[in-house]
Amino acid sequence: MAQKKMKPVDVAIVGFGWTGAIMAKEMTEAGLSVVALERGVYRDTYPDGAYPKTIDELDYQQRFKLFQNIAKSSFTFRRKMADTAIPYRQIAMFKPGEGVGGAGLHWSGCHWRILPEELRMRSHYEERYGKKFIPQDMTLQDWGVSYEELEPFFDFGEKMMGTSGTAYRVGGKVINDRGNPFEADRSDAFPLPAQKEQYQSALFRKAAEEAGFHPFALPSANASAPYVNQYGCQMGPCTFCGFCSGYACYNYSKASPNVNILPALRLTRLFELRTECNVLRIELDDSKKKATGVTYIDGRGDTVFQPAGIVIASTFAYNNARLFLLSGIGKPYDPVSGSGVVGRNVAFQMMATVNAFFEPGKNINGFIGAGGNGVAIDDFNGDHFDHGPLGFVGGSPIWSNPAGSKPISGIAVPPGTPKWGRQWKSAVRDSYLNTMSFDAHGANMVYRDVYVDLDPTYKDAFGQPLLRFTFDWKDNDIRMSRYVTEQATKIARNLNPKAINVTVKQIGDAPDLRSYQTTHWAGGVAMGMDPGTSVLNRYLQSWDVHNVFAVGSGVFAQGIGYNPTGAAVALAYWSARAIRENYLKDPRPLVDA
Amino acid sequence: MKKISISANRRSFLRGAITAAPAAALALAAVPAMRGQAQGAAPYKPSFFSQEEFTLLSAMADTLIPADETGPGAIEAGVPEFIDAQMNTPYGRGQLWYMQGPFDRDAPAVFGYQLPYPPADLYRKSLAGFSAAIRQQYGKDFPALAQAQRIEAITDLEKGSLKMGEIPAAAFFTQLLQNVREGYFCDPADGGNKGMLSWKMIGFPGARADYFDWVEQYGKKYPLPPVSRG
């Protein structure tokens, strides 16, 4: 294997998903030369998302065409620190991505902001419920950035993605009472009106209103009309094809780095995208205070050093923690002493589902769907309801999100139905067109003994240790999920279905790697105000190595109720602004440790 | 009791399977509905499975999704052919799974599949183990069992109570049911769901993928038949 050294660049970006693409755009706008290193293959709407080839459930959802090839690199899991971790051998519980566009190519397009109180979670709960309310082993902390500071970047991100939605309040004034009354103040409305409502969403809206809740259209990065964003990138209206999550959008309707950013980046010579380049580590100088570049293995198996003035880690969620651990950046977290930071505060989400079954002839037609489309209520998310008497921290939105149900994976059947045979067959025939489902997709808090580190046994195809998750469900989060799911079930009952099926965790349930939950991991390289509890400062700059920045949901200080992409995107723009306006003039730690 | 109809397609397939079967599998001929059929279309020749394995796999798929008045069975949908073809893909060879050892076979079920075998090896070992276990328990090969006994045997497989050698019954059942459903409901271009019969049964329009004008037609039956991405 050859050793190569490339020509130095101003910025090396590791991973080319949403946040990598945003950083590449922002850095080239600042006049910097940028190389983005993506471990996966080149992908784009054409040919990877071309109709009709892309409309194939087996290839894309069962054989994971656009997802990470976990034969090469996977993860290990254990519930407790004393256990031996077991490899995640088949993709199921979460669906990691790779390739140009990353998870942004095959996501659904649910484009949320974040709740202001989630950015200062510990302070908020202590102020409202007292210091004793937060359980002792729950390592909640404030993120070090406020909603007001991030608001312009949420707005910019929505305009970049052509997000469809109904704004409730703009500039302090209520402009549309069909929006989300719990939503924080906005500087502008969504760039596109909300998408059309599928039947089950309309039923959900009516039943939720009858229950006294406040339904509104999910903010969706699926365009409801033709759109051109601020980069000149074009989108066409979504046709509700039903093949969204797990697929590249053949229609240029679902926002992706490939559709919404890459066409603009191609116009500058300052940018180079290299695919099939697996970054092994960020290299540091002798002082360990400065990065010199990155070392990667290219598609031919050669080891390459790419010198760079700034390194931006923009891998998916947990992978930034792995990259920092492999590179010796920041002190690894030690759950016994509670010291160290890299790998700390890892969170997932709590998923619960309610299915309502109707008689044949109802024709809910769940094959009609769009990834980000639907109707939600926020009455039980964040701290929009009084947690005092309930005794748990956190919350969850509830939504009907008809993203397109497909037959191999998509046919729910009434409780008690066998999994095969004549009875199963008649149940799938009767149920397929006549079922609706609601999800409660809530927050997962952070805990002292939930973290990631490097596995001592299992390796990837490049000989590097797999990332090991020490992860378990906690009573607090299960109580939250059960409470919110009860509210979802009330909404379902209002519709008088012939049967209801509720999938919700029981106290003591183990994480189940066999069944899909969500792919929304957070944390591992948490941002914050204190280097003793965070890896990055409030500008997403490493406390230890000032020319290394990290972006993506790995920077979250804990899990959030909404899907994470909107917050990850806004934080990337926030960090890019700090680099452009502050760091470039005077490269140094932007916050004193 | 309702009469279970068997379509011409399914009859023709089962006939083919019997015609091509080696002596060990000929017990299938004892099933009354299949005796004395005239010669039909050329039988499918499996590319991965032996004829004996394929006959057994077909009978198991037929039990999991039987043909009845509701709609087509796994045989008409081409499920066994689909599974046979899948074994010769990267998926069948385990190239989509993390297969580095060590393997902890005693890991709790929630950790998912933890055997050192790709699907192709898993089927080969499981079909042999299942076949032997059934012969021992019933004194006959699975394809020769009456419908009620087949259902009983597959129920034991699902519950994990069938002792079938090295492979745990539940692990094989999970794999088999997944692949049977895939072959039943996939796009015909992927090798199963012949004639889109299962899509017609449930009302899935397949690869039409444009419902802009249908989103707000609440409660109406979508009028167009399915199409394949083929």
CB pair distance less than 8 Å for A240 and B214: yes
B200 contact A CB<8A: no
**pLDDT for A593:** 82
d(CA A538, CA A586): 17
**pLDDT for A410:** 78
pLDDT-derived band at B40 (thresholds 50, 70, 90) equals low
The C-alpha of A519 sits at a distance from chain B's nearest C-alpha, in angstroms, of 17
Is the per-residue pLDDT at B25 higher than 80? no
Neighbour tally for A81: CB within 10 Å: 11
d(CA B92, CA B82): 11
Q: By CA distance, what is A240's nearest residue in B?
A: B211
Nearest-CB residue to B151 (from A421, A426, A514) = A421
pLDDT in tens, A502-532: 999 999 999 999 999 999 999 999 999 999 9
Interface test with B, best of A408, A417, A433 (most B CBs within 10 A): A408
Neighbour tally for A455: CB within 10 Å: 21
B204 contact A CB<8A: yes
A57 contact B CB<8A: yes
Residue A429 tokens, joined: 């025939």
The C-alpha of A97 sits at a distance from chain B's nearest C-alpha, in angstroms, of 13
pLDDT-derived band at B42 (thresholds 50, 70, 90) equals confident
Task: Report which of A286, A411, A296, A303 is spatially closest to residue A355, judged by C-alpha positions.
Answer: A411
Q: By CA distance, what is A241's nearest residue in B?
A: B209
Mean pLDDT over each residue of chain B, to the nearest integer: 87
Task: Report which of A91, A90, A81, A39 is spatially closest to residue A468, judged by C-alpha positions.
Answer: A81
AA letter at B86: Q
- Chain B neighbors of A411, CB-CB under 8 A: 202
Nearest-CB residue to B70 (from A420, A422, A514) = A422
Q: By CA distance, what is B96's nearest residue in A?
A: A71
Is the per-residue pLDDT at B26 higher than 80? no
CB pair distance less than 8 Å for A240 and B216: no
Q: Which of A384, A441, A520, A546 is catalytic?
A: A520
Is the per-residue pLDDT at A344 higher than 70? yes
* E strands, A83-176, in order: 86-87, 169-170, 173-174
AA letter at B39: Q
Mean pLDDT of A529-548: 98
A433 contact B CB<8A: yes
Task: Report which of A111, A402, A439 is spatially closest to residue A243, judged by C-alpha positions.
Answer: A402
Is the per-residue pLDDT at A130 higher than 60? yes
Is the per-residue pLDDT at B19 higher than 60? no
| SS3 annotation, B88-148 | CCCCCCCCCCCCCCCCCCCCCHHHCCCCCCCHHHHHHHHHHHHHHHHHHHHCCCHHHCCHH
pLDDT-derived band at A131 (thresholds 50, 70, 90) equals very high
A214: annotated active-site residue: no
| Number of helices and strands in chain B (H, E) | 7, 0
pLDDT-derived band at B8 (thresholds 50, 70, 90) equals very low
Report DSSP letters for A311-357, one per residue: EEE--STTHHHHHHHHHT-SPBPBTTTTB--BT-S-B-EEEEEEEEE
A50 contact B CB<8A: no
B154 contact A CB<8A: yes
pLDDT-derived band at B2 (thresholds 50, 70, 90) equals very low
Mean pLDDT of A537-552: 98
Q: Which residues pair with A355 in a beta bridge?
A: A437, A501
Size of interface A-B (CB pairs under 8 A): 165
Which residues lie below 8 Å from residue B106, measured CB to CB, with a gap of 6+?
A: none
Burial of residue A580 (number of CB atoms within 10 Å: 0-12, 13-18, 19+): middle
A92 contact B CB<8A: yes
Task: Let me know: does B41 contact B19? Beta carbons within 8 Å.
Answer: no
**pLDDT for A387:** 98
pLDDT-derived band at B24 (thresholds 50, 70, 90) equals very low
Residue B101 tokens, joined: 């050892």
AA letter at A369: G
Nearest-CB residue to B210 (from A58, A239, A425) = A239
* pTM for the model: 0.94
Q: In Å, how far from its chain's centre is CA B155?
A: 15
Q: E strand or H helix at A272, and its extent?
A: strand A271-274
**pLDDT for A499:** 98
Tell me the H-state helices in A171-217: 199-210
B182 contact A CB<8A: yes
Q: What is the sign of the dihedral through the CA atoms of A316, A319, A323 and A324? A: positive
Q: What share of chain A has pLDDT > 70, as a percent?
A: 100
CB pair distance less than 8 Å for B209 and A52: yes
- Chain B neighbors of A84, CB-CB under 8 A: 104
Q: By CA distance, what is B213's nearest residue in A?
A: A239
Q: By CA distance, what is B191's nearest residue in A?
A: A58
pLDDT in tens, A66-112: 999 999 999 999 999 999 999 999 999 999 999 999 999 999 999 99
CB pair distance less than 8 Å for B229 and A368: no
pLDDT in tens, A144-177: 999 999 999 999 999 999 999 999 999 999 999 9
How big is chain A, counted in residues? 593
Task: Let me know: does B49 contact B119? Beta carbons within 8 Å.
Answer: no
CB pair distance less than 8 Å for A242 and B202: no
Neighbour tally for B105: CB within 10 Å: 11
User: For residue A445, which phi and psi values (nearest 5 degrees)?
Assistant: -75, 180
CB pair distance less than 8 Å for B185 and A407: yes
d(CA A301, CA A262): 26
**pLDDT for B23:** 37
Task: Let me know: does A409 contact B181? Beta carbons within 8 Å.
Answer: no
Query: What is the DSSP secondary structure assignment for residue A150, as one 8-state letter?
Result: H
B201 contact A CB<8A: yes
pLDDT-derived band at B35 (thresholds 50, 70, 90) equals very low
**pLDDT for A2:** 65
More confident residue, A1 or B167: B167
- Chain B neighbors of A58, CB-CB under 8 A: 182, 186-187, 190
Q: By CA distance, what is A429's nearest residue in B?
A: B202
Q: Annotate B21-54 with b (16+ C-beta within 10 A) or e (fewer).
A: beeebebbbebeebeeeeeeeebbebebbebbbb
pLDDT in tens, A102-122: 999 999 999 999 999 999 999
Interface test with A, best of B204, B217, B220 (most A CBs within 10 A): B204
Q: E strand or H helix at A26, and its extent?
A: helix A18-29
The C-alpha of A53 sits at a distance from chain B's nearest C-alpha, in angstroms, of 6
Pairing of strands A291-297, A3-5: unpaired
Mean pLDDT of A3-25: 98
pLDDT-derived band at B28 (thresholds 50, 70, 90) equals very low
pLDDT in tens, A370-422: 999 999 999 999 999 999 999 999 999 999 999 999 999 879 999 999 999 99
CB pair distance less than 8 Å for A419 and B154: no
CB pair distance less than 8 Å for B214 and A428: no
* E strands, A481-582, in order: 499-503, 548-550
A455 contact B CB<8A: no
Which residues 398-427 of A have a C-beta within 8 angstroms of B? 406-408, 411, 419-422, 424-426
- Cα dihedral: A513, A516, A519, A523 (round 10): -40
**pLDDT for A48:** 87
Mean pLDDT over each residue of chain A, to the nearest integer: 97
CB pair distance less than 8 Å for B222 and A63: no
- Chain B neighbors of A60, CB-CB under 8 A: none
Nearest-CB residue to A429 (from B64, B71, B229) = B71
Which residues lie below 8 Å from residue A361, measured CB to CB, with a gap of 6+?
A: A434
pLDDT-derived band at A137 (thresholds 50, 70, 90) equals very high
- Chain B neighbors of A73, CB-CB under 8 A: 98
Is the per-residue pLDDT at A472 higher than 80? yes
* E strands, A30-166, in order: 34-37, 75-78, 86-87
Task: Let me know: does A299 contact A275? Beta carbons within 8 Å.
Answer: yes
Nearest-CB residue to B218 (from A199, A425, A459) = A199
The C-alpha of A365 sits at a distance from chain B's nearest C-alpha, in angstroms, of 8
Q: By CA distance, what is A250's nearest residue in B?
A: B209
The C-alpha of B52 sits at a distance from chain A's nearest C-alpha, in angstroms, of 23
Helices B169-185 and B79-86 pack at an angle, to 10 degrees, of: 110
CB pair distance less than 8 Å for B177 and A86: no
